[in-house]
Amino acid sequence: MTPAKQQSSPVSTVYAGPSADSVQNPLPSATAVETAKVLAEVELPTISKGPIIRRPRVVAAVENLGLEARAVARVQTLAEKYGRGPVMLAMPGRKMALVLHPEHVHRILEESPEPFATAETLKRHALKHFEPQVALVSHGAERSRRRETNEKVLDHQQAIHHMAEQFLPAVREEAQTLLKQVDAAGGTLDYSSYYKAWFRVVNRVVLGDSYRDDTELLELMETQRARGNWAFLRPVDTEARDDIHTRIKQAVAKAEPGSIAAYMAQMQDRGESATSPDEDAQQIPQWLFAFDPAGMSSYRGLALLASHPDQLEAVRQQIDQEAQQHAPLLPLLRATVLESLRLWATTPMILRETTREVEFENGVMPEGTTVLIFAPFFHRDEKNLDYAHTFSPEVWNHERTREEWPLVPFSSGPAVCPGRNLVQLLTSNFMAEIVGQRSIDLLSHDLEPGRLPALLNNFSLKFHLSER
């Protein structure tokens, strides 16, 4: 399928001259009432769910009340009124702009981190609770070298990580353990069991096999991420944060064979790391953090397959075709994960912050403006996408280009998630072990294939697995 319609526009340019002024030539500004509705219907539900770690009860409430669909509808209303935008929100003491046009999504992500910095203020306050030196909230030379380390270690350009054959035995073993547990429980698979099995994989891949059952680090990370949900409203527990980094530095020093930690240690020994050992250790919490939404998206992906038998059969055929490969690519399962992320974005608010005034067609965005790209609006806008509410893995059959509608499950541009390919490698192979060996029925939800819900609560999803 293709977008029902796409709007074309001239390419905008970064403002560089001294003559224009953001006060004399401002962007359109939403009224106080419109801003209040954006805060109440878009930002509040999203933040309440937990931007750093999900709050299960709030997720359930947002799903039951249909608040995610209301958020998309609210942005659609602003887009109808203000057109291309961006539109400045009338927030006292804070400059914030909401992006309304796909051309601007491409532009902002392509021009990150300068002049659209990834180190946005609220994001920095949230992540300082467990990873203050991570590349995501760094800028300038610090960001460059930290980003370089992330890209090298995560092998971000390669669909198959060069250590894939070392990672995948852990994936298969933990999936088999999970299936045995499910069989012993009468065939019921719930998210708690899936999450625990998934993070046994994560611990083994990132830190090493001996960390398989290291729930202390996981719990410590979850506690600090929960504090991060409150950003600057909660003081930093520096002792707990230091404990996380100490444990991770010990794992890197231990360098268990077959782990990412070992590869990072090798880079340090060879002088190939662009960052210091302390900085290296601060990149790893972000990976542990990011593997949480990866688990959510793959679990929701199982729900998509259980509700679309034809797609499930095609996936199984591909699993059989690639069964003899040491590191299967499994493009249909990767597309399933991408569709899960499109339909139910785990990073619904992509934030940037302007480092200088930036000129758009409709006016000048001031320096220090938080730029908000609300991904669900672009992913689920039925006015422009004929597949907005359907499971359409075919849209991922190729690398998407700037000319296409912005679908940004892992962001895009120079600041695209460096672990996107590793996430897809691990999730697709983990899912393959489940759907390749078991029949799967969705117990908790009745998903209508032609109109998938605006939010799917992963915490309440339940399946019944049986022998094929």
pLDDT digits (tens, 9 = 90+) for 285-304: 999 999 999 999 999 999 99
- pLDDT of 19 reads 39
18 or 421: which carries more pLDDT confidence? 421
Structural domains of the chain, count: 1
Residues 75-85 have pLDDT tens digits of: 999 999 999 99
301-330 average pLDDT score: 97
- Of the chain, the end-to-end C-alpha distance in Å amounts to 32
Looking up tokens 């403006």 gives 369
* Residue 24 lies inside a defined structural domain of this protein: no
- Burial (CB < 10 A; 0-12, 13-18, 19+), residue 451, is exposed
* Residue 404 lies inside a defined structural domain of this protein: yes
Model confidence band, residue 25 (pLDDT cutoffs 50, 70, 90): confident
Token code pair at residue 86: 């961006």
CB 102 within 8 A of CB 333: no
pLDDT beyond 70 at 12 = no
* Residue 26 lies inside a defined structural domain of this protein: no
- pLDDT of 10 reads 31
pLDDT beyond 60 at 20 = no
Looking up tokens 């400045």 gives 88
Model confidence band, residue 7 (pLDDT cutoffs 50, 70, 90): very low
Residue 461 annotated as binding site: no
- pLDDT of 24 reads 73
- pLDDT of 21 reads 61
pLDDT beyond 70 at 451 = yes
* Residue 375 lies inside a defined structural domain of this protein: yes
Cα angle value 101/104/105 (rounded, 5°): 90
CA distances from 407 to 47, 289, 299, 343, 412 (A): 21, 22, 20, 10, 9
Cα angle value 244/247/251 (rounded, 5°): 135
The DSSP secondary-structure symbol of 43 reads I
Residue 361: give the domain boundaries: 32-467
362-389 average pLDDT score: 97
* Residue 25 lies inside a defined structural domain of this protein: no
**% the chain with pLDDT above 90:** 91
- pLDDT of 315 reads 98
Who contacts 34 (Cβ-Cβ below 8 Å, separation ≥6)? 78, 90
The type of residue at 403 is E
The type of residue at 148 is E
Report the chain's C-alpha Rg in angstroms. 22
Model confidence band, residue 238 (pLDDT cutoffs 50, 70, 90): very high
The type of residue at 441 is D
* Residue 191 lies inside a defined structural domain of this protein: yes
Give the predicted TM-score (pTM) of the model: 0.94
Which contacts qualify for 74-78: CB closer than 8 Å, 24 or more apart?
74/37, 74/38, 74/41, 74/42, 75/38, 75/42, 75/100, 75/374, 75/377, 76/377, 76/381, 76/383, 78/30, 78/34, 78/38
Read off φ and ψ for residue 335, nearest 5 degrees.
Answer: -65, -35
* Residue 1 lies inside a defined structural domain of this protein: no
* Residue 281 lies inside a defined structural domain of this protein: yes
Token code pair at residue 368: 């220090």
Residues 120-152 have pLDDT tens digits of: 999 999 999 999 999 999 999 999 999 999 999
What are the counts of helices (DSSP H) followed by strands (DSSP E) for the chain? 17, 10
- pLDDT of 275 reads 86
